[in-house]
């Protein structure tokens, strides 16, 4: 499963960084570029009027990568709030291969921290963990009611969430193919430019409903010290061979 292989790389990289730099620095290095990716993936969903609408739209995204998700609205007293329920955790056994008793800190807690940095108005916490014996994992997210009015610049085209769910597995597979053998960013553990290409390609296929052709130049980026990371070209004729988007 692609999700499991990606987790193996993450656990391995976190273990290496912890041994080299210590827990605190390893955490920060692993978060490099992660909030920017969360903005790309979650921004359109969080621009919907309520969190429950956005999280229900996210269910196909999670199902597409092998998860089993549900969402429950618990909004009350001027707080827009939702419970995200995950019924299957693919990381319970994988984490032990790298010396971790549970996957929560490296996977879920890091996801929540990246989401908070991407969307400071939204708070998240873990209420239940399968790793601690619960039947499901439950995450609570909340923000002030009406917060979506501040995010109108993230308005989404009709059907965008469905298209993201449909195309995301292909996008991730293509980026993994591109990343193979490339220099790794020592902070994130991913190939340099990994997150920029993921966000750019997902936007492209959702907008055009086709894979790009020819050479496209990825935009410049910034590292955690605000230094400019150069743009780079990607030859999609070579990269996309054998791939197609689902109907």
How far lies 3's CA from each of 51, 64, 75, 107, 212, in Å? 25, 10, 31, 12, 24
Among the residue ranges 40-54, 76-90, 116-130, the one predicted with the least confidence is 40-54
Model confidence at 192, pLDDT cuts 50, 70, 90, reads confident
Residues in the chain, overall count: 247
Query: Domains, the chain, ranges and CATH?
Result: 2-153 (3.90.1520), 160-239 (no CATH)
pLDDT tens-place string over residues 94-112: 999 999 999 999 999 999 9
pLDDT at 11: 93
Q: What does the alpha-carbon distance between residue 225 and residue 162 come to, in Å, rounded to a whole number?
A: 36
pLDDT at 82: 97
pLDDT at 186: 67
pLDDT tens-place string over residues 19-76: 999 999 999 989 888 888 888 778 888 888 899 999 998 888 788 778 899 999 999 9
Q: Are 28 and 17 in contact (CB under 8 A)?
A: no
pLDDT tens-place string over residues 193-212: 888 899 889 889 988 889 99
């Amino acid at each position: 499963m692609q999700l499991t292989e990606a987790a193996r790389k993450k656990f391995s990289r976190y273990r290496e960084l912890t041994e080299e730099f210590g827990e605190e620095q390893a955490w920060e290095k692993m978060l490099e570029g992660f909030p920017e990716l969360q903005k790309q993936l979650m921004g359109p969903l969080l621009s919907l009027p309520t969190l429950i609408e956005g999280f229900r739209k996210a269910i196909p995204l999670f199902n597409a990568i092998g998860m089993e998700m549900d969402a429950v609205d618990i909004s009350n007293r001027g707080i827009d709030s939702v419970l995200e329920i995950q019924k299957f955790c693919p990381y319970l056994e994988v984490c032990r291969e790298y010396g971790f008793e549970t996957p929560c800190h490296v996977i879920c807690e890091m996801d929540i921290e990246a989401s908070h940095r991407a969307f400071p108005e939204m708070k998240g916490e873990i209420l239940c963990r399968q790793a601690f014996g619960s039947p499901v994992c439950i995450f609570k997210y909340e923000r002030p009611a009406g917060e979506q009015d501040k995010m109108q610049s993230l308005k989404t085209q009709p059907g965008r969430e469905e298209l993201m769910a449909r195309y995301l597995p292909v996008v991730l597979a293509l980026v993994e193919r591109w990343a193979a053998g490339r220099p790794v960013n020592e902070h994130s553990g991913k190939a340099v430019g990994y997150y920029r290409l993921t966000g750019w390609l997902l936007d492209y296929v959702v907008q055009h409903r086709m894979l790009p052709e020819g050479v496209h130049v990825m935009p410049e980026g910034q590292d955690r010290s605000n230094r400019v990371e150069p743009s780079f070209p990607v030859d999609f004729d070579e990269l996309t061979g054998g791939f197609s988007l689902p109907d």
